[in-house]
Amino acid sequence: MISNRTLGMVSLAICLSAAVLEAAEQPDFSGAWTTFRGSIGAGAFNAPQGAPVLTEAAEAARNDFLSLTDGTNHGAGNSCVGSGMPASVLGSGGYPMEIIQRPEQVFVIYEAHSEFRRFLIGTEAEDPDSFFPERNGYSTAYWEGDRLIVETTRLKTQVDSRYPHSNEATVREVYYLGEPLEDGTRVLVNELTMTDSAWLKEPFSIVKRWQELPGYHVLTYECSEPKWLDEMEGLYEEAGLEMVQE
Q: pLDDT: is 183 or 15 the higher one? A: 183
Integer Cα distance of 182 and 160 in angstroms: 39
Q: Residue 19 has what pLDDT? A: 44
Q: Residue 94 has what pLDDT? A: 76
DSSP 3-state assignment of 8? helix
Q: Residue 125 has what pLDDT? A: 84
Q: Pairing state of beta strands 31-35 and 204-212?
A: antiparallel
- For residues 28-35, give the mean pLDDT: 96
Q: Residue 74 has what pLDDT? A: 83
DSSP conformation letters of 108-169: EEETGGGEEEEEEEGGG---GGGS--BSS-EEEEEEETTEEEEEEE-BPPBSSSSS-B-TT-
Q: pLDDT: is 9 or 121 the higher one? A: 121
CA gyration radius for the chain?
22
User: Do 211 and 185 form a contact (C-beta atoms < 8 A)?
Assistant: yes
Question: Is the predicted pLDDT of residue 216 greater than 80, yes or no?
Answer: yes
Please say whether the dihedral angle defined by the alpha carbons of residues 61, 64, 68 and 69, taken in this order, is positive or negative: positive
pTM exceeds 0.75: yes
Q: Residue 2 has what pLDDT? A: 62
Confidence of residue 192 (pLDDT cuts 50, 70, 90): very high
Q: Residue 72 has what pLDDT? A: 86
- For residues 114-133, give the mean pLDDT: 92
Domains and CATH numbers, the chain: 27-215 (2.40.128.20)
Q: How far is CA 49 from CA 52, 163, 208, in A?
A: 11, 11, 10
Confidence of residue 150 (pLDDT cuts 50, 70, 90): very high
CA torsion 226-229-235-237 (nearest 10°) is: -100
Across the chain, mean pLDDT equals 88
